[in-house]
């Protein structure tokens, strides 16, 4: 099969995978297989070790693992790899991609052999964009040299693939937000009904706390009630709290 047909076939398989699957872990696993199959069939054979996707939350200014959305990448300030990813997300609007932490602009690359690579593990970071602004990072990790990959066709193909992935993630996030809004409004109605029919705070507060906790799981929620006799506040949610600072 001709090289250009292989690249079109890869893009077709990427599109098919994104259309037919919704589970983030499954998507990443299939994308790894597609890229490795492309490598085996082409003259650019390079093993792909891992594909990762990180999503930037503008509200909390944090990066999250797309396949494990509950995991926040911690910043240490000690120039760790996570710290470098946070720096990259702020620079991806200015550059086309990063190779081993070094930024490059596609339009300024006249000779792709000038890209600095390692003899062993190499990492390519590509932007995921919404309205031409980066909202995430596509990370490709190769265990060996990527010298054979360094040409305009590969990076153009990667650019198109990242566009397809960006659309899929945006649609996934939008669907999740819509469902969360539906669930939130339902919970608010349920809370209103409870308040209308129940008057015992010790019964009402734990139920309300559990309902609210579903939608603010990234934060800690504490509910205090003031004692009218001594005007001291008592923690009533969560009842199992043992944090002396909170108490």
| Res 165: pLDDT | 93
Where in the sequence of the chain do the CATH 3.30.450.40 domains occur?
Answer: 3-176
**Edge-to-edge strand ranges of the sheet holding 122-130:** 68-72, 62-65, 50-57, 133-142, 122-130, 97-99, 102-104
Q: Tell me the mean pLDDT in the region 17-37.
A: 90
* Residue 11 structure tokens: 């893009």
What burial class does residue 112 get, using C-beta atoms within 10 Å of its C-beta: 0-12 exposed, 13-18 middle, 19+ buried? middle
pLDDT at 141 over 90: yes
| Res 3: pLDDT | 58
* pLDDT tens-place string over residues 173-209: 888 888 888 888 888 888 888 888 877 777 787 777 7
| Res 238: pLDDT | 75
Pick the most confident of 27-31, 66-70, 77-81.
Answer: 27-31
- Say which CATH topology domain 3-176 has: Beta-Lactamase (3.30.450)
Q: Tell me the mean pLDDT in the region 142-149.
A: 88
* pLDDT tens-place string over residues 81-97: 999 999 999 998 899 99
Distance CA 225, CA 140 (A): 51
Is 246 in a helix, a strand, or coil? coil
Q: How far out from the chain centre does Cα 56 lie?
A: 6
| Res 219: pLDDT | 55
CA distances from 220 to 51, 214, 227 (A): 32, 11, 23
| Res 4: pLDDT | 59
This prediction's pTM: 0.74
Nearest to 191 by CA among 207, 203, 179: 207
* pLDDT tens-place string over residues 156-180: 888 999 999 999 999 988 888 888 8
Q: Tell me the mean pLDDT in the region 129-144.
A: 91
| Res 163: pLDDT | 93
| Res 8: pLDDT | 87
Q: Which residue has the higher pLDDT, 181 or 141?
A: 141
Band (pLDDT 50/70/90 cuts) for residue 231 is confident
Is 230 in a helix, a strand, or coil? coil
Crossing angle of helices 24-41 and 3-20, in 10° steps, is: 170
Band (pLDDT 50/70/90 cuts) for residue 53 is very high
pLDDT at 80 over 80: yes
| Res 224: pLDDT | 81
pLDDT at 247 over 70: no
């Amino acid at each position: 099969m001709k090289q250009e047909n292989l690249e079109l076939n890869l893009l077709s398989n990427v599109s098919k995978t994104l259309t037919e699957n919704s589970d983030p872990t499954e998507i990443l696993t299939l994308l790894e297989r597609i890229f490795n199959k492309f490598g085996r069939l082409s003259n650019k054979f390079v093993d792909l070790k891992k594909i990762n996707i990180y999503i930037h939350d503008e509200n909390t200014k944090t990066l999250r693992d797309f396949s494990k959305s509950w995991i926040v990448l911690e910043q240490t300030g000690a120039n760790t790899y996570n710290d470098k990813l946070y720096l990259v997300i702020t620079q991806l609007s200015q550059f086309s991609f990063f190779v081993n932490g070094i930024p490059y602009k596609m339009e300024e690359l006249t000779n792709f052999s000038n890209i600095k690579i390692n003899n062993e593990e190499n990492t390519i970071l590509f932007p995921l964009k919404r309205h031409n602004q980066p909202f995430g990072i596509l990370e490709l990790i190769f265990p060996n040299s990527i010298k054979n990959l360094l040409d305009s066709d590969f990076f153009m193909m990667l650019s198109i693939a990242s566009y397809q992935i960006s659309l899929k993630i945006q649609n996934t996030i939008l669907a999740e937000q819509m469902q969360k809004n539906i669930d939130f409004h339902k919970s608010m109605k349920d809370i209103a009904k409870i308040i209308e029919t129940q008057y015992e705070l010790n019964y009402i507060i734990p139920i309300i706390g559990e309902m609210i906790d579903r939608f603010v799981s990234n934060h800690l929620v504490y509910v205090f009630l003031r004692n009218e006799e001594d005007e001291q506040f008592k923690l009533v949610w969560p009842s199992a709290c043992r944090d002396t600072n909170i108490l």
